[in-house]
């Protein structure tokens, strides 16, 4: 295995929205390498559909404070309010900036950026849904990804495509480099650098039914966790209500923003019972629970009564073609259904990790309960936890998060790099990665990667998804112990150097198992229900004991140690979450 | 109900082979499964060395363009019930094959970069958005859908014969800015596309429009660019 050495002022890991926005920020300020295991335009930001909220007030009265209130309430009061204020205040500039970069937003008749309704976003602290989401048909994420990539091309950003980062090196209490595996050659590349920003995305592939890409395996959080960085609030994983039945492909909340309705087996608009004011536009955690409650109580649809319907049939056909062209095409392609005339079978789909690498509002990674910063280490986007989403993210706030905190992280990193000296990289920093790869290639235990991953995904779906109990989570803990044992005996067939995805899939599975471990331990410990974390055996929120963030550390023996830190409050006091 | 599907796949391992060869696999699939699911079934349970790119698995990331029963398609948007129970799979043509169904995408992205694929506007818009009428926005809507999968470019007979041709995808991405009312560099892009490697190579074979998994009217976009050059007007 050849080893190549590079030196850069800064390295960005991942080229989705957060990584690209950070790269735009460092361009011209410091020598930056952007490493991605895909091509930038393949990143899963491109799959985001519905919009990006900002209180532009282009079509009706709105204010960033209302947006902040909605986000705090949506987070079930686990989000840190100063961070949420920053995000919602800077949202307006972020959208305007994207427009200046060329993003083709839909327009109002006056030529301004058009806005539409989205779940949990309301006028004046919950009075009624508000039109806050700026959008480009139902491919807003695609347009953000394309636009940011275009701006990187304009700035001649230095991309290393299909380089998968597998390890990070520290020296003298700061970041000193990363180790990447080059898909095309099978060579290792050691990047000596002053600073690293992780923007590597989520890890929804630990669940069976997921809207996530195959590539979303939590490599960044996983490798940092192994190097002692804690993971924050991992028990909070969002299930998006409207995934295509069995496939999990996302059907945007914009479908309901445009007037779509959820119906059970008696064609009832059941959300009226769960959220009388905003109905189908309640936040995702509540809608997913409502759907599964309908199914549990026998009001599901189909031979197994295991799905409900999304109904768009009452919408004008031209509105569907203009505002929801992509998702209706997905329905035609994968379900063979015409959504203009037939209702769509849907079920909740694993969508978004609220938890991840703990950071402050400048993207600096935090390594303990005292908010101690690791010098030179940054994270932004889904892999990070600022925390602006708390226990439940509102729709559109992920696209906002990547742009706002990608920019802030990139700016902070460029500033850090300006003053910092290049750290000495310890000799042999690549040896552990080399060992990992060689071990995988010679493994002869006979265990199959796909089989282990299937068990992980199915069991996580059954035992650690929308509804959880001590019993289900304890059982999942047991399953994970077994899977770790089997993972030690993995054998792969491809022993080659070039484009060995057999190898990288095996390594990725290891990250998924480790992160599932943190999710399950956090969920077991949290004996309350808050946001996306719902315990049947502890069905209410317990602010007295649990209004705090979870930090999960990896122990020497590979187990999980939990610690906690307080939520940073603000002007909005916790209250019962009704919509 | 599961059906048996035979996959004939053009294989090439650069570390062992001097030329490609065909291999066949039999997999049990549902009619509603994707061709990508069948490829995964082979990779995960029969032959881990089978190599192809994929990511989103629902037609938005553009990773898995390949030649399926002779036509350029995405493996993740093509269902078994569309292609039947005997399926041949080959890498897209016109780009160097690296391993099995995976090709070198660098020449494709270099051609994309050559058309200045970013908004160019030298005037300071201040702290407000630039206004754009819904009609002006509609003018380039179709070409904003491109996912850079290369299905169009690698379906083009001209491109197979002459890899210096920028190809349909690059023209689509130039079109996206040429006809954007906010952009000021249409002339520069039209000059680039007026060169020998540009739009005049197009012989209007329509393969590109048929191949586009996003339904972009690629040939029409190319024609609009040609007209803009001829009449010096966008």
Of A126, A551, A502, A144, nearest in space to A359 by CA: A551
Please tell me whether residues B98 and B122 are part of one structural domain.
no
* Contact assignment for B147 to A333 by CB distance below 8 Å: no
Above pLDDT 90, what percent of chain A?
A: 100
Please tell me whether residues B118 and B188 are part of one structural domain.
yes
Q: Let me know if B127 is exposed, middle or buried by CB neighbors in 10 A (0-12, 13-18, 19+).
A: exposed
Top residue of B25, B33, B60 to mutate, by most chain A CBs within 10 Å, is: B60
Contact with chain A for residue B24, Cβ under 8 A: no
* Contact assignment for A42 to B105 by CB distance below 8 Å: no
Q: What is the pLDDT of residue B214?
A: 97
Count of residues making up chain B:
234
pLDDT, average across residues A229-255? 97
* Contact assignment for A46 to B61 by CB distance below 8 Å: yes
H helix or E strand, kind and range, residue A437: helix A431-442
Where is the domain boundary, B71, B103, B135? Answer: B103
Report the residue from B49, B53, B102 with minimal CB separation from A502. B49
Residue A545 to chain B, least CA–CA distance (Å): 40
> What pLDDT digit, counting tens, does each position of B186-226 carry?
999 999 999 999 999 999 999 999 999 999 999 999 999 99
Residue B107 to chain A, least CA–CA distance (Å): 13
Q: What is the pLDDT of residue B233?
A: 79
| Cis ω for the linkage preceding A387 (within 30 of 0) | yes
Q: What is the pLDDT of residue B1?
A: 81
Residue A418, pLDDT > 90, answer yes
Question: Which residues fall within 8 angstroms of residue A192, CB to CB, at 6 or more apart?
Answer: A5, A6, A7, A8, A176, A177, A422, A423, A425
Please tell me whether residues B148 and B90 are part of one structural domain.
no
Count of residues making up chain A:
579
H helix or E strand, kind and range, residue A549: strand A548-554
Q: Please tell me the distance from the alpha carbon of residue A149 to that of residue A133, in angstroms, as a whole number.
A: 22
- CA atoms in the 13 A half-sphere facing the CB of A303: 0
pLDDT, average across residues B176-185? 98
Contact with chain A for residue B46, Cβ under 8 A: no
pLDDT, average across residues A418-447? 96
Please tell me whether residues B27 and B67 are part of one structural domain.
yes
Residue B204 to chain A, least CA–CA distance (Å): 27
Please tell me whether residues B115 and B77 are part of one structural domain.
no
Top residue of B45, B56, B132, B174 to mutate, by most chain A CBs within 10 Å, is: B56
Q: Please tell me the distance from the alpha carbon of residue A2 to that of residue A14, in angstroms, as a whole number.
A: 23
CB atoms within 10 A of CB A484: 16
The two beta strands, A308-311 and A344-353, are antiparallel
Report the residue from B61, B117, B144 with minimal CB separation from A42. B61
* Contact between A135 and A51 (Cβ < 8 Å): yes
CB-CB neighbors (< 8 A) of A39 in chain B: 63, 105, 109, 148
B/e letters for B190-201, b = 16+ CB within 10 Å, e = fewer, are bebbeeebbbeb
**Cα–Cα distance list, A391 to A76, A111, A387, A388, A561 (Å):** 6, 37, 9, 9, 20
Report the residue from A44, A334, A499 with minimal CB separation from B51. A499
Residue A273, pLDDT > 90, answer yes
The rounded Cα A479 to chain-centroid distance in angstroms is: 24
> What pLDDT digit, counting tens, does each position of A186-197 carry?
999 999 999 999
Please tell me whether residues B133 and B215 are part of one structural domain.
yes
Q: What is the CATH number of the domain that holds B134?
A: 1.10.1060.10
* Contact assignment for A146 to B144 by CB distance below 8 Å: yes
Of A263, A257, A205, nearest in space to A49 by CA: A257
- What interhelical angle do B167-178 and B106-113 show, nearest 10? 30
Q: What is the CATH number of the domain that holds B50?
A: 3.10.20.30
Please tell me whether residues B110 and B20 are part of one structural domain.
no
* Contact assignment for A139 to B60 by CB distance below 8 Å: yes
* Contact between A251 and A243 (Cβ < 8 Å): yes
A434 is catalytic: no
Report the residue from A44, A104, A499 with minimal CB separation from B98. A499
- CA atoms in the 13 A half-sphere facing the CB of A400: 33
Q: Please tell me the distance from the alpha carbon of residue B32 to that of residue A179, in angstroms, as a whole number.
A: 41
In whole numbers, what is the pLDDT of chain A averaged over residues?
97
Please tell me whether residues B227 and B118 are part of one structural domain.
yes
* Contact assignment for A96 to B127 by CB distance below 8 Å: yes
Please tell me whether residues B114 and B97 are part of one structural domain.
no
* Contact assignment for A334 to B127 by CB distance below 8 Å: no
**Cα–Cα distance list, A237 to A362, B26, B166 (Å):** 23, 37, 44
Contact with chain A for residue B63, Cβ under 8 A: yes
* Contact assignment for B129 to A113 by CB distance below 8 Å: yes
Q: State the DSSP code for A280.
A: G
* Contact assignment for A336 to B32 by CB distance below 8 Å: yes
Residue B51 to chain A, least CA–CA distance (Å): 7
β-partners of residue B115 are none
Please tell me whether residues B111 and B99 are part of one structural domain.
no
* Contact assignment for B113 to A47 by CB distance below 8 Å: no
CB-CB neighbors (< 8 A) of A329 in chain B: 215
> What pLDDT digit, counting tens, does each position of A77-95 carry?
999 999 999 999 999 999 9
* Contact assignment for A502 to B125 by CB distance below 8 Å: no
**Cα–Cα distance list, B197 to A232, A270, B158, B192 (Å):** 52, 59, 11, 8
* Contact between A284 and A239 (Cβ < 8 Å): yes
**Cα–Cα distance list, A516 to A260, A456, A470, A535 (Å):** 34, 9, 16, 17
In the structure, what pLDDT confidence band is assigned to residue A398 with cuts at 50, 70 and 90? very high
Where is the domain boundary, B103, B128, B155? Answer: B103
Please tell me whether residues B95 and B131 are part of one structural domain.
no
Instruction: Supply the range of the domain harboring residue B116.
Output: 106-231
CB atoms within 10 A of CB A390: 31
* Contact between A106 and A137 (Cβ < 8 Å): yes
Residue A228, pLDDT > 90, answer yes
Q: What is the pLDDT of residue B234?
A: 79
Q: Please tell me the distance from the alpha carbon of residue A38 to that of residue B62, in angstroms, as a whole number.
A: 11
* Contact assignment for A448 to B45 by CB distance below 8 Å: yes
Report the residue from A111, A493, A498 with minimal CB separation from B131. A111
Question: Which residues fall within 8 angstroms of residue A419, CB to CB, at 6 or more apart?
Answer: none
Residue A495 to chain B, least CA–CA distance (Å): 8
Please tell me whether residues B110 and B19 are part of one structural domain.
no
Q: State the DSSP code for A391.
A: T
3-state secondary structure chain B: CEEEEEEEEEECCCCCCCCCEEEEEEEEEECCCEHHHHHHHHHHHCCCCCCCCCCCCCCCCCCCEEEECCEEEECCCCEHHHHCCEEEEECCCCCCEEECCEECCHHHHHHHHCCCCCCCCCCCCCCCCCCCCHHHHHHCCHHHHCCCCCCCHHHCHHHHHCCCCCHHHHHHHHHHHHCCCCCCCHHHHHHHHCCCCCHHHCCCCCHHHHHCCCCCCHHHHHHHHHHHHHHCCC
Where is the domain boundary, B82, B103, B124? Answer: B103
In whole numbers, what is the pLDDT of chain B averaged over residues?
97
> What pLDDT digit, counting tens, does each position of A511-542 carry?
999 999 999 999 999 999 999 999 999 999 99
Measure the N-to-C terminal CA separation of chain B; round to a whole number of Å: 53
Tracing tokens 């906690």 back to the chain, one arrives at A564
* Contact between B167 and B157 (Cβ < 8 Å): no
* Contact between A84 and A73 (Cβ < 8 Å): no
Residue A543, pLDDT > 90, answer yes
Question: Which residues fall within 8 angstroms of residue A345, CB to CB, at 6 or more apart?
Answer: A244, A245, A301, A302, A307, A308, A309, A335
* Contact between A230 and A367 (Cβ < 8 Å): yes
**Cα–Cα distance list, B3 to A38, A275, B6, B29, B83 (Å):** 33, 44, 10, 5, 13
- The greatest distance separating any two alpha carbons of chain B, rounded to the nearest whole angstrom, comes to 61
**Cα–Cα distance list, A256 to A116, A282, A398, A537, B30 (Å):** 10, 10, 18, 31, 31
In the structure, what pLDDT confidence band is assigned to residue A218 with cuts at 50, 70 and 90? very high
CB atoms within 10 A of CB A29: 16
Measure the N-to-C terminal CA separation of chain A; round to a whole number of Å: 58
In terms of pTM, does the model score above 0.80? yes
> What pLDDT digit, counting tens, does each position of B16-74 carry?
999 999 999 999 999 999 999 999 999 999 999 999 999 999 999 999 999 999 999 99
CB-CB neighbors (< 8 A) of A497 in chain B: 15
Q: How many domains does chain B have?
A: 2
Closest residue, chain B, to A249 (C-alpha): B58
Contact with chain A for residue B10, Cβ under 8 A: no
CB-CB neighbors (< 8 A) of B102 in chain A: 499
The two beta strands, A308-311 and A261-263, are antiparallel
Residue from A116, A284, A468, A486 carrying the catalytic annotation: A284
Contact with chain A for residue B140, Cβ under 8 A: yes
* Structure-token pair, residue A28: 């011209």
Q: State the DSSP code for A52.
A: E
* Contact between A529 and A517 (Cβ < 8 Å): no
Q: Please tell me the distance from the alpha carbon of residue B66 to that of residue A29, in angstroms, as a whole number.
A: 40
Q: Please tell me the distance from the alpha carbon of residue A533 to that of residue A88, in angstroms, as a whole number.
A: 24
* Contact assignment for A100 to B60 by CB distance below 8 Å: no
Closest residue, chain B, to A153 (C-alpha): B113
Q: State the DSSP code for A392.
A: S
> What pLDDT digit, counting tens, does each position of A20-44 carry?
999 999 999 999 999 999 999 999 9
CB-CB neighbors (< 8 A) of A111 in chain B: 131-134
Q: What is the pLDDT of residue B232?
A: 84
């Amino acid at each position: 295995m050849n080893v190549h050495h590079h030196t850069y002022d800064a390295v960005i890991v991942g080229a989705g929205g957060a990584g690209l926005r950070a790269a735009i920020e460092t361009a011209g300020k410091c020598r930056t390498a952007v490493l991605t295991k895909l091509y930038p335009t393949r990143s899963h930001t491109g799959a985001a559909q519905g919009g990006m909220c900002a209180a532009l007030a282009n079509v009706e009265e709105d204010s960033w404070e209302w947006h902040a209130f909605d986000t705090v309430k949506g987070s079930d009061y686990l989000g840190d309010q100063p961070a949420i204020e920053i995000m919602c205040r800077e949202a307006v500039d972020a959208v305007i900036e994207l427009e200046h970069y060329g993003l083709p937003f839909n327009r109002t008749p006056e030529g301004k950026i058009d806005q539409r309704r989205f779940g949990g976003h309301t006028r004046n602290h919950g009075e009624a849904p508000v039109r806050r989401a700026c959008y480009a048909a139902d491919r807003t994420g695609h347009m953000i990804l394309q636009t940011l990539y275009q701006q990187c091309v304009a700035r001649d950003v230095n991309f290393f495509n299909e380089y998968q980062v597998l390890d990070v090196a520290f020296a003298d209490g700061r970041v000193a480099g990363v180790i990447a595996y080059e898909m095309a050659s099978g060579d290792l590349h050691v990047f000596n650098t002053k600073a690293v920003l992780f923007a590597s995305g989520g890890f929804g592939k630990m669940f069976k039914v997921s809207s996530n890409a195959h590539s979303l395996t939590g490599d960044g959080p996983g490798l940092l966790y192994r190097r002692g960085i804690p993971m924050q609030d991992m028990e909070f994983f969002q299930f998006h209500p409207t995934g295509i039945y069995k496939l999990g492909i996302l059907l945007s909340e914009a479908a309901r923003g445009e007037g779509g309705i959820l119906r059970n087996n008696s064609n009832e608009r059941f959300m009226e019972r769960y959220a009388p004011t905003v109905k189908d536009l309640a936040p995702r955690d509540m809608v997913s629970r409502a759907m599964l409650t309908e199914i549990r109580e026998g009001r599901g649809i189909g031979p197994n009564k295991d799905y409900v319907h999304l109904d768009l049939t009452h919408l004008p056909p031209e509105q569907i073609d203009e505002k929801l062209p992509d998702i209706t095409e997905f329905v035609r392609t994968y379900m063979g259904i015409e959504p203009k005339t037939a209702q769509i079978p849907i079920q909740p789909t694993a969508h978004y990790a609220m938890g991840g690498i703990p950071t402050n509002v400048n993207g600096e990674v935090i390594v303990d309960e005292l908010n101690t910063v690791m010098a030179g280490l940054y994270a932004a986007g889904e892999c990070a936890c600022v925390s602006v989403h708390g226990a439940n993210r509102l729709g559109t706030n992920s696209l906002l998060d990547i742009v706002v905190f990608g920019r802030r992280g990139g700016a902070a990193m460029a500033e850090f790099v300006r003053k910092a000296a290049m750290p000495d990289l310890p000799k042999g920093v690549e040896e552990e990665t080399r060992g990992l790869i060689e071990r995988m290639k010679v493994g002869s235990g006979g265990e199959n990667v796909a089989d282990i991953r299937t068990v992980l995904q199915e069991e996580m779906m059954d035992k650690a998804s929308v509804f959880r109990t001590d019993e289900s989570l304890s059982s999942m803990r047991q399953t994970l112990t077994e899977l770790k044992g089997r993972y030690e005996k993995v054998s792969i067939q491809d022993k080659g150097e070039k484009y060995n995805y057999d190898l990288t899939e095996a390594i990725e599975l290891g990250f998924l198992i480790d992160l599932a471990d943190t999710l399950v331990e956090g969920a077991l410990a949290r004996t309350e229900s808050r946001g996306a974390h719902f315990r049947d055996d502890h069905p209410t929120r317990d602010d007295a004991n649990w209004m705090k963030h979870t930090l999960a550390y990896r122990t020497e023996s590979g187990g999980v140690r939990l610690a906690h830190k307080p939520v940073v409050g603000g002007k909005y006091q916790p209250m019962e979450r009704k919509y | 109900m599961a059906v048996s599907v035979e996959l004939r796949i053009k294989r090439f391992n650069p570390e062992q082979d001097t030329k490609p060869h065909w291999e066949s696999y039999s997999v049990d699939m549902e009619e509603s499964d994707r061709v990508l699911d069948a490829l995964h079934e082979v990779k995960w349970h029969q032959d881990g060395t089978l190599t192809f790119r994929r990511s989103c698995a629902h037609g938005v990331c553009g990773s898995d363009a390949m030649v399926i029963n002779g036509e350029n398609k995405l493996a993740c948007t093509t269902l078994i019930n569309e292609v039947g129970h005997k399926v041949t799979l080959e890498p897209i043509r016109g780009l160097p094959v690296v391993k099995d169904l995976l090709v070198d995408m660098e020449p494709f992205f270099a051609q994309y970069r050559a058309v200045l694929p970013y908004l160019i506007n030298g005037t300071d818009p201040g702290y407000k958005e630039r206004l754009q009428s819904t009609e002006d926005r509609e003018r380039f809507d179709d070409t904003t859908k491109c996912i850079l999968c290369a299905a169009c470019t690698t379906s083009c007979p001209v491109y197979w014969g002459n890899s210096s041709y920028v190809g349909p995808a690059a023209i689509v991405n130039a079109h996206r800015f040429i006809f954007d009312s906010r952009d000021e560099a249409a002339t520069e892009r039209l000059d680039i596309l007026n060169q020998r490697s540009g739009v005049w190579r197009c012989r209007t074979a329509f393969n590109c429009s048929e191949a586009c998994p996003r339904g972009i009217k690629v040939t029409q976009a190319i024609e609009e660019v040609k007209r803009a050059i001829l009449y010096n007007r966008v």
